[in-house]
Amino acid sequence: MAMSSIDYREKIPNNVNLTEDRGLRRALERWHPNYLDWWADTGPEGSQDFDVYLRTAVSVDPKGWAQFDHVKMPDYRWGIFLNIPGDPDRRIHFGDHKGEKAWHEYFGRDGRDEGEALLERRAGDDDNPRILSAFNEKTPDWLSLFMFTYFTDRDGKFQLCALAESGFDPLARTTKFMLTEEAHHMFVGETGVSRVVQRTCQVMNELKTDDPEKLRAAGVIDLETVQRYINFHYSVTIDLFGAEESSNAATFYSSGLKGRFGEGKRDDDHVLKDGTYKVLHLVNGALREVEVPMLNALNEVLRDDYITDSQGGISRWNKVIAKAGIAFRLQLPHKAFHRRIGSLAGVKASPEGRVSRDEEWHARVGEWLPTDEDRGFVASLMGRVVEPGKFANWIAPPVIGVNRQPVNFEYVRLG
Ligand SMILES: [Fe+2]
């Protein structure tokens, strides 16, 4: 398809004057064909001609941000050029520039080059992978996808919330809008895992067993395996927040670029030169809390806010299990479990946070993280169910469809 055949002004929902903004249109004309290539390379095989029920944003008001319709994938348009209206009098509310007027100018050439480099990196690409490793992990089955959207999209929520506080106003506004996307992704993850758990509990009660082998033979995912998937996705995701102590994090904050989660609602001086924060270190073979300057610990502050938020879904999944009368409870592993970034990297801690010796770790890691056998079993369940209203054996039907559609709604018209 020739680039010039696409009328971006018509097809891209936007409120950023795309018609007149030639710079933005040029950037888009370069970016869009790459986006289509990416979808053709890495999207589901043979899916280009299906009408798929997809959500996009056409405006930033409450009615416009989630519009659904059937569309062929190559015709899909992201509502990425939408921005909530700016307040010209907005003030920077944290860091060394607190009280000054917010910045409204866009980045120059440096910013554009950085942006280009971001688009060249692809998740899982051997030659040019994403910088953050959680985004390169394989997502080969639906349980992985649900875990990714519950845990890893939630990292997105916290990063975006911190950037939504930015003194650089275009960044603050665009991230606020992107948060509406993240909310839907996390909903997919939370309800997905919940439905898996519900179906497993149903079969546990039918067969009156908690034996993983018997449950697997009945075609459902045992709760122990669900727990191992949680342990994996949670631990690789909390790595995304970076090192506990970071002078970059201090600089981003003090310069007014990146605030804390809920910065505006916090009751302190919003400069943080005096405060301290407790971070975990391995000291003489044991985990110890160490007080460090607050400004340097802002990655850890954000990670702790994330951890608190992550607990919500775990509690709701446990309610599903409790309601089925089953004693098993899912839990978040300890912060020190399976870390690869920061002061806890390489610590051989159990999910309960007990530091173990190498031999014990190797002997028990198969109880704590998904094994090849677990992944093979989950993969074996991933058959195709195409009849509207029918669901795979390993997952309970949803209470209601996406966009309040009936449960037998035809989301994909297979033609
Ligand atoms: Fe997301």
In single-letter form, the type of residue at position 215 comes to L
- Cα of 139 from ligand 1 centre, angstroms: 14
131 burial via Cβ count (<10 Å: 0-12, 13-18, 19+): exposed
Q: Can you give the pLDDT at residue 17?
A: 77
Q: Can you give the pLDDT at residue 353?
A: 96
Percent pLDDT > 70 in the chain is 93
- Model confidence at 4, in pLDDT bands (50, 70, 90)? very low
- Model confidence at 410, in pLDDT bands (50, 70, 90)? very high
- Cα of 150 from ligand 1 centre, angstroms: 9
**How far is it, in rounded angstroms, from Cα 262 to Cα 278?**
19
For 136-191, the pLDDT digits (tens) are 778 889 999 999 999 999 999 999 999 999 999 988 988 887 888 888 899 999 99
Could you tell me the residue ranges of all domains in the chain? 83-413
Specify the DSSP class assigned to residue 109: H
Which of 191, 189, 186, 162 shows the shortest CA–CA distance to 304?
A: 162
- Model confidence at 65, in pLDDT bands (50, 70, 90)? confident
Q: Where are the alpha helices (DSSP H) in 165-245?
A: 169-207, 212-217, 223-238
- Model confidence at 208, in pLDDT bands (50, 70, 90)? very high
Measured CA angle at 251 (ends 119, 150), to 5 deg: 50
- Cα of 395 from ligand 1 centre, angstroms: 22
Q: Is the pLDDT of residue 5 over 70?
A: no
- Cα of 179 from ligand 1 centre, angstroms: 9
Mean pLDDT of 328-344: 97
Q: Can you give the pLDDT at residue 272?
A: 97
- Cα of 155 from ligand 1 centre, angstroms: 9
Name residues whose C-beta falls within 8 Å of residue 336's C-beta, 6 or more positions apart in sequence: 280, 282, 287, 344, 347, 349, 353, 355
Q: Can you give the pLDDT at residue 7?
A: 60
Residue list, CB under 5 A from ion ligand 1: 153, 156, 182, 185
Instruction: Give the residue with greater pLDDT, 85 vs 211.
Output: 211
- Cα of 152 from ligand 1 centre, angstroms: 8
* 329 touches 318 (CB < 8 A): yes
For 66-101, the pLDDT digits (tens) are 788 898 887 887 666 677 778 889 999 999 999 999
Among 18-32, 163-177, 219-233, 270-284, the minimum mean pLDDT is found in 18-32
- Cα of 133 from ligand 1 centre, angstroms: 16
- Cα of 158 from ligand 1 centre, angstroms: 11
Q: Can you give the pLDDT at residue 153?
A: 95
Q: Is the pLDDT of residue 269 over 60?
A: yes
Q: Can you give the pLDDT at residue 60?
A: 72
Q: Can you give the pLDDT at residue 379?
A: 97
- Model confidence at 105, in pLDDT bands (50, 70, 90)? confident
The alpha-carbon radius of gyration of the chain (Å, integer) is 23
Q: Is the pLDDT of residue 412 over 80?
A: yes
Phi/psi of residue 168, each to 5°? -90, 100
CATH topology of domain 83-413: Ribonucleotide Reductase, subunit A (1.10.620)
Q: Can you give the pLDDT at residue 8?
A: 59
- Model confidence at 9, in pLDDT bands (50, 70, 90)? low
Average pLDDT, the chain: 89
Name residues whose C-beta falls within 8 Å of residue 13's C-beta, 6 or more positions apart in sequence: 56, 57, 58, 59, 77, 79, 81, 82
- Cα of 79 from ligand 1 centre, angstroms: 14
- Cα of 355 from ligand 1 centre, angstroms: 33
Reported pTM: 0.90
- Cα of 189 from ligand 1 centre, angstroms: 10
Q: Which residue has the tokens 């054996």?
A: 393
3-state secondary structure of 410: coil
- Count, in order, helices (H) and strands (E) of the chain: 12, 5
Among 58-72, 194-208, 363-377, the minimum mean pLDDT is found in 58-72
For 106-137, the pLDDT digits (tens) are 667 777 777 777 767 766 667 777 666 667 77
Mean pLDDT of 287-293: 96
Q: Can you give the pLDDT at residue 124?
A: 64
Mean pLDDT of 49-77: 81
- Cα of 236 from ligand 1 centre, angstroms: 16
Mean pLDDT of 261-280: 96
